[in-house]
Structure 1
Amino acid sequence: MQRWPVQPNWDDLRVFLTLARNDSLSRAGKQLRLDPATVGRRIARLETSYGASLFVKSPTGYALTEMGERLLQHAERAEQSMQLAEEAMSGQEEGLRGQIRIGAPDGAANFVLPQVCAEIARANPDLEIQIVALPRLFSLSKREADFAVAVSPPQTGRLMVQKITDYRLSIAAADSYLARHDPITTVEQLRPHRIIGYIPDMIYSKEVDYLGEIGIEAPQLASNSVSVQAHWIRQGAGIGIVHDFSLPALPGVSRVLPKRFSLLRSFYLLRHEDDKRLERHNRFAAALTEGMRKEVQRLEALS
């Protein structure tokens, strides 16, 4: 078994962790605010000190070697220890501090999280909150985000999963669109209409295959963004499925077949298992879940 001749310092491990999570010198350098050449030199120095290769350059970027995988486990423990130390010394009882990043599907990110996070920020003026609104899954293991809001619980990974709340979706159209067409009384009567929905090959979870619930495979107007779909509907371009909590933000849009069709889905909060000892994250998770639950209920009552 190889013995490393020196003990790593945290600054070196921070560079190592960032490259391991980003697979690219340029992306790691951007996150660390270092130029890529400096990141490369720091890694080379680390490898020389250890007498072992930690990365191998592959067609997809920098991949960890076996020794790199072993170091990764220790580096992540060191990161957690530094976070715990920072918490202990920063007076967290006086309020949340630092930066927290949330990854979320753009339905939640556009119509729920801004209000919820604004309230949390007002109560914690030293807290910086980032919302990454993307219609895809986030890698918490690579620290793309501290928290992720998901529409289905993952089946793999070292994650803590907490159900946030249920929410509903409905068929909807602009009042101006409905006024130009005959009344719709059955789901079957939707077929001749211009349908708005997700780009089929960009559906990232079966939970968002809403049109499949009404037997429609390919919408005529498609986007990977819920917000784009909602604005198309508001402009009277066609009929689609919207979150009920988005309706208060879409004046002039009404449900279609409200007594015949409604979908029930759920939001889940995902966290990396290693973060369960971080009181800062625990307190933020509690505020976020409670805030989202109340905000969805409030918006659905208005819709």
Structure 2
Amino acid sequence: MDWDDLRIFLAVARAESLSGAGRRLKLDAATVGRRIARLEEGMGAKLFVKSPQGYALSESGDRLLPHAEAAEQVFAGADEEMSGIAGQLTGQLRIGAPDGCANYLLPQVCAKIAEENPGLEIQVVALPRVFNLSKREADMAIAVSRPTAGRLTVQKLSDYHLSLAAHRDYLAKAPPITCKEDLRHHRMIGYIPDMIFDKELDYFAETEAEVMGLASNSAAVQTRMIEAGAGVGIVHDFALPFAPGVQRVLGGEIRLNRAFWLIRHADDRRSERLTRFAEALGQGLRDEVARLEHAAVEI
């Protein structure tokens, strides 16, 4: 058994399909299947059970998994040790993040980290859902609430704020808004209710608004709807500098407090490379939230 066989085994275990593993490994599915068959023959045991849903680990596969993950950590540590260039970060790192963070914060933060580490490839996956780090969908993920289950390490990155807002052109022609009760006379913009993947995104529970006229599962799309003068909605304060003409409404009554959390797989705590990147990401995110929220004070 060699590391390359274990690498392919881990990819299939995480993707739960030959094609998915092949995409990650840049191999065709047939090659992945042959390599798994060769590994199973060498071990004298079936490692996967094939079903219409894909490839699930067998009892033998379950026993092999922690050993394969331990080998992965050893090889990753050796690679980090040997490939560092004058203390710089290298290789590929993937971050999963909610789209508000990914659209308005991570471009600036990652640009700075990339400039300081030219050999580093940073991938940002912006999806409105929770990432599965056990399946290695990402090396680390940013979330809006602290997870309570799983083999994870969790670090608070930064507090941030959100405000009720509308475009000045909309406010000029719409009925005045002097209290929460006035919101019932306005078109509200927010999340699609059955696609809210985290309770922290249920903003309208705090506004007492009754009817939503426009909705999206994307915070960035909601902000663009508000910028287009379509109605009133909740906007990240750090997004306000990117939305000309959008201004706070009922600032004294409605201002929400939330936090970003950085989530990593527990096994990665021994990775100096990931820890250094997490530190740079955290500091950059805190600085960028502070900078943009300060700029938003003038709006």
Which bin holds the TM-score, normalised by the shorter protein? over 0.9
Greater displacement, 115-124 / 55-64: 55-64
1:36 maps to which of 26, 29, 33:
29
CA contact (8 A) 1:100 1:129 kept: yes
Distance in 1 of aligned mates of 2:85 and 2:129? 32
Deviation at 1:26, TM superposition (A): 1.0
Structure 2 counterpart of 1:68 = 61
Deviation at 1:32, TM superposition (A): 1.1
Amino acid at match of 1:256: V
1:95 maps to which of 50, 75, 88:
88
Kindly indicate whether residue 110 of structure 2 is the aligned counterpart of residue 154 of structure 1. Answer: no
Deviation at 1:278, TM superposition (A): 1.0
Structure 1 portions without partners, runs of 5+? 1-7
Amino acid at match of 1:55: F
Distance in 2 of aligned mates of 1:175 and 1:152? 32
Secondary structure, aligned partner of 1:157: coil
Distance in 1 of aligned mates of 2:85 and 2:234? 42
Q: CA RMSD in A?
A: 1.0
Amino acid at match of 1:226: A
Amino acid at match of 1:146: D
What TM-score does the superposition give when structure 1 sets the normalisation length? 0.96
Secondary structure, aligned partner of 2:292: helix
Amino acid at match of 1:163: K
Structure 1 counterpart of 2:113 = 120
Secondary structure, aligned partner of 1:215: coil
Report how many aligned residue pairs link the two structures. 296
1:138 maps to which of 131, 136, 150:
131
Amino acid at match of 1:114: P
Q: How has the CA–CA distance of structure 1 residues 25 and 217 changed in structure 2, closer, same or farther, with 3 Å as cutoff?
A: farther
CA contact (8 A) 1:97 1:127 kept: yes
Kindly indicate whether residue 287 of structure 2 is the aligned counterpart of residue 294 of structure 1. Answer: yes
Amino acid at match of 2:218: S
Secondary structure, aligned partner of 1:141: coil
Distance in 1 of aligned mates of 2:31 and 2:264? 31
Structure 1 counterpart of 2:254 = 261
Secondary structure, aligned partner of 2:125: strand
Greater displacement, 208-217 / 56-65: 208-217
Percent identical pairs in the alignment equals 62
Secondary structure, aligned partner of 2:164: strand
Structure 1 counterpart of 2:13 = 20
What TM-score does the superposition give when structure 2 sets the normalisation length? 0.97
Deviation at 1:195, TM superposition (A): 0.8
CA shift digits 1:61-110 (9 cap, x unpaired): 11001110111111100100000001111135430000010000000000
Distance in 1 of aligned mates of 2:273 and 2:198? 30
CA contact (8 A) 1:105 1:134 kept: yes
